[in-house]
Structure 1
Amino acid sequence: MQTIVWLRGQGRRAFGLVVNLILTAVVVLGAYLYRLPCFGPTYEANGATSGDLVASWYGKGCYTDFQALWAGRSLFEHLLPYVNGGTGSDGVLLPGTLEYPVLSGLLTWLVALPVSTDQQFYTLFAIVLGACSLGITVLLVRLGGWRALWWSLASGVFLYATYNVEMFVVLLATAGLWATWRACRSTGHSTVWLTAAGLLLGLGGCAKLYPLLFVAPIGLWALLPRTRQDGKGFWQSLRWQRFLAVVGAAVAVVLVLNLPFVLINFDGWVAGIRFQWSRDIDGSTNTIWYWGLRPYIDSQHVQTLLRPVVTFATLIGILAPVVWGTIRWWRRADFPWLEVSAAMLMAYLLLNKVHSPQYVLWLIPFFVLLRIGWPWIVAYYIADVFTGVGFFARAAANTASIEASVWPQIFILGVWGRAVLLFVLFFVAMRTKPVWLGQKHDAVVIPQSV
């Protein structure tokens, strides 16, 4: 009888996985087709699509960073990034320079190698990102069951699956969270799983920086005692080994992937960092800083003063959940690593000087993994659609001098609606349990000495 019940349970999970994979594949295919009209049918000598690309991007709403990168960053020359490139005397990035961290840059270069036009580049990258999206689906179904539908049917997946390299980064970040979950359940191999989590989050941090945020709460979860009795004899326990496993693995990956390029061509490696730091807070950043300080933001003096202010505010925002988590641990002997990770990300998205449209993909896995109520998730998706679609529709209306367009108002509503929701969700996330708590078949085992 128990075998039959187990088989039924396995069958339900397999059915849920298949359904979510099919839905994800359909949505990602739609995302690919949605942006395809911006490519071809004629091409320049360098493989870039001919014609007025800006009018096409805004008029059809099918902009993708891959098309801009092909010509704008001279990917058609197939120069190895970070070994080549740098910053010119006029501050412009030289050919061979990418403003991405090294792993995203190397992936972009590899995908560009076998192709000769921007459409081929986009198509091949869409295949890579589609595979990443399916991998994310497998992990989220394993962790969250049917809540993975919040990912598989997300408007953000349709809008941004083939917009930028984000799917690759989200796969690494989600895999790091999955490895941490395995460490939570393990009674004899938690150090191995935490090492894997550190490696995956380190790789994610070398693709986009945000996965490195999660190393701190996961490291604290590994380090801090689970009970008052467990607090005795710290150096005799193996908690410090678990802490060093996750933090050391993440740091090691970052050093191994970055140091060679630092030594070979420091200017080519640091050019992207300088580019991001010197980037003005303008209308393309979609942040509260631009729209909240709109009357003053065009002043270069204000821009110069604002950079350190925004950096400090962002730092305070991402540290606040760590402090809260530590206080909760002191009261309950339980450090809420997943809740803290989600709140840190929400603070980063709210306070950072850039909030690119595709960043919603970073957040969606937490909508699956935490028991956040559906009204909050639906509201956030609506605000995000208003922001993403409204941005390009507003730009198209401005380009065509359509004064009666409602898109500017929809866009502003999306920006501020998203900001308010991030502020509220910051607190909601810290008071919401992980989805696997309370599930009998996924009870979390807390290893005391391994």
Structure 2
Amino acid sequence: MSRPTETRRVPGPARAALPLLPLGLLAALGAVLAYAWKAPCRFGGAWNDGTQQFLHFCYTDIYPLWWNEKLDQGLAPYFGHPVEYPVGIGALMWFVQRLIGGLRAIGLFGDINEPGVWFYDITVLVMAVSLVVGVLLMARLAARQGRPWDAAWYALAPALVLTAFINWDLLCGALALGAFLAWADRRHVLTGVLLGLAVATKFYPIVLFGPIFLLALRTGRLPAFLKALAGTAVTWVVVNVPFMLLAFEGWKRFYVFSSERGADWGSLWYYFQMRQWPVLGDAAVLDKLGIASFGLLCLAVAVLALTAPVRPRLMQLCFLVLAAFMVTNKVWSPQYVLWLVPFAVLARPNWKPLVLWQLSEIWYFFAIWLYLVGIQPGNEALGISDTTYFTAVWGRALTIAIMAAFVVRDILRPAHDVIRQGGVDDPAGGVFDGAEDRFVLRRPRRVDPEPEPSAA
């Protein structure tokens, strides 16, 4: 089947007129609201109370890691103390640690009673910049689809305000969005470099290579894919090898921790184990179950990508693969919603399922902290039961499944895809936009010839 060639491209002068300033201001507002949400902990001291930080819903990983990762003792990540994060985050930890030490040395802060608070503040500033950059990058991608204001979802999504500063996810999000903008601009080596940095910061972007490969296979654009893959591999090696050679024990901590970690809060596997389901709740086979279930979902996505009557858009497949990874992962932290928001909106900018999903994420955000209060001895009356908590676990899994079902419907019936209206193909797809099919796993649709007009 031939590909549509008419695309809604944004010409150079029009790109300058994109609403980047108002979207940047909205992203800054989102960051301010996220910082204000943490006020009971940041300014009220609730971080130092294992119950109050949950009751005020202002927990963050950043503050306690100042001590847990021995940054307060001046130890360098990986070299002085093993770190349970990839080197991108460890390097940022080290930078902020050295910055605080330098500012204290020149007397700018004087006697800081709570250096952990400064560690949080400076890290949050970096994450806030990452959010603004990520929103602007998403706006450029969304503009190629004729909908630049869709980036406002990423700037002000309720779940973003609640979870933005729990961890370092926004930095990785900006790198991943930059990579796909580079792909849309057909700068494939830059795509690989940015994805390499993203994978070196948070490991999840590695799964996004699957959609690129599938569409490259279908369109015969494998050289572009291989350039991006090479760029990622070289970048990841350049970033990681110095740590591997000079501090291997500290460097491997993230990978050992990830492999040994059991089912944790938020994941469906945690529900199965707590309910003692046969097989699915068996901790001894958790890793195999996780890999097998994710593999099956990826196989389904691959079949869809290579058999759909019209080639899927890149953002559609990215959303499906990332959603599959989250649903089958043995850990599903509240801030993982930040991974999915941009790709969910770019895949299917329909507000109704997005609002439903956001409501489920909001419910989960409050449920997890109340659940952690409820399992503390003596605090049962202040929290919620595990039964109530698991309604939130399943709620967000089901709403993501609903969104995925709509995306699959749009792929199989492109007339329902709002991005493809008016003869548009895949404007954010780079070399895939307007490309002909070269490899599909279906028989060509038979088209009967039009009858000859009667001589009479």
TM-score normalized by the length of structure 2? 0.78
* CA distance 1:142–1:212, shift in 2 (3 Å): same
Structure 2 partner of 1:427 = 405
Decide which of 122, 125, 146 is 2:123's aligned counterpart. Answer: 125
Is the 8 Å Cα contact of residues 261 and 269 (structure 1) preserved in structure 2? yes
In structure 1, what is the Cα distance between the partners aligned to 2:235 and 2:89? Answer: 14
* CA distance 1:436–1:276, shift in 2 (3 Å): same
Report the Cα offset of residue 348 of structure 1.
0.6
SS class of match (1:54): coil
Structure 1 partner of 2:185 = 182
In structure 2, what is the Cα distance between the partners aligned to 1:265 and 1:200? Answer: 24
**In the TM superposition, what are the counterparts of 1:400-415 in structure 2 within 5 Å?**
401-403=379-381, 411-415=389-393
Is the 8 Å Cα contact of residues 141 and 147 (structure 1) preserved in structure 2? yes
Decide which of 221, 226, 243 is 1:261's aligned counterpart. Answer: 243
* Amino acid in the other structure paired with 1:22: L
In structure 2, what is the Cα distance between the partners aligned to 1:249 and 1:240? Answer: 14
> Does 2:299 correspond to 1:305?
no
* CA distance 1:161–1:71, shift in 2 (3 Å): same
Q: Number of matched residues?
A: 396
In structure 1, what is the Cα distance between the partners aligned to 2:336 and 2:273? Answer: 22
Is the 8 Å Cα contact of residues 390 and 408 (structure 1) preserved in structure 2? no
Structure 2 partner of 1:279 = 261
In structure 2, what is the Cα distance between the partners aligned to 1:316 and 1:428? Answer: 19
Give the number of the structure with larger relative contact order, counting CA–CA contacts within 8 Å between residues 6 or more apart: 2
In structure 1, what is the Cα distance between the partners aligned to 2:46 and 2:421? Answer: 57
Q: Percent identity?
A: 26
In structure 1, what is the Cα distance between the partners aligned to 2:245 and 2:307? Answer: 42
* RMSD of equivalent CA atoms: 3.1
Structure 2 partner of 1:148 = 151
For structure 2, the 5+ residue unaligned runs are: 1-10, 102-114, 143-147, 412-416, 428-432, 437-456
Is the 8 Å Cα contact of residues 317 and 351 (structure 1) preserved in structure 2? no
Structure 1 partner of 2:306 = 326
Deviations 1:208-235 (A, max 9, x none): 1111111232134335436xxxxxxxxx
> Does 2:86 correspond to 1:104?
no
Decide which of 207, 218, 222 is 2:216's aligned counterpart. Answer: 222
In structure 1, what is the Cα distance between the partners aligned to 2:212 and 2:56? Answer: 43
Is the 8 Å Cα contact of residues 353 and 402 (structure 2) preserved in structure 1? no
Deviations 1:113-163 (A, max 9, x none): 222611101110111111110011111222221112221220122012111
In structure 2, what is the Cα distance between the partners aligned to 1:80 and 1:339? Answer: 41
Is the 8 Å Cα contact of residues 64 and 164 (structure 1) preserved in structure 2? yes
* CA distance 1:51–1:375, shift in 2 (3 Å): closer
> Does 2:193 correspond to 1:205?
no
* CA distance 1:225–1:59, shift in 2 (3 Å): closer
**In the TM superposition, what are the counterparts of 1:338-353 in structure 2 within 5 Å?**
338-353=315-330
In structure 1, what is the Cα distance between the partners aligned to 2:358 and 2:375? Answer: 25
Deviations 1:36-90 (A, max 9, x none): 432467xxxxxxx798431232232211001121111112133232333xxxxxx
> Does 2:386 correspond to 1:383?
no
SS class of match (1:114): helix
> Does 2:23 correspond to 1:20?
yes
After TM superposition, the structure 1 stretch with the greater mean CA deviation from structure 2, 305-314 or 64-73, is 305-314
Is the 8 Å Cα contact of residues 158 and 358 (structure 2) preserved in structure 1? yes
SS class of match (1:115): helix
* CA distance 1:442–1:317, shift in 2 (3 Å): closer
In structure 1, what is the Cα distance between the partners aligned to 2:117 and 2:267? Answer: 31
In structure 2, what is the Cα distance between the partners aligned to 1:287 and 1:223? Answer: 33
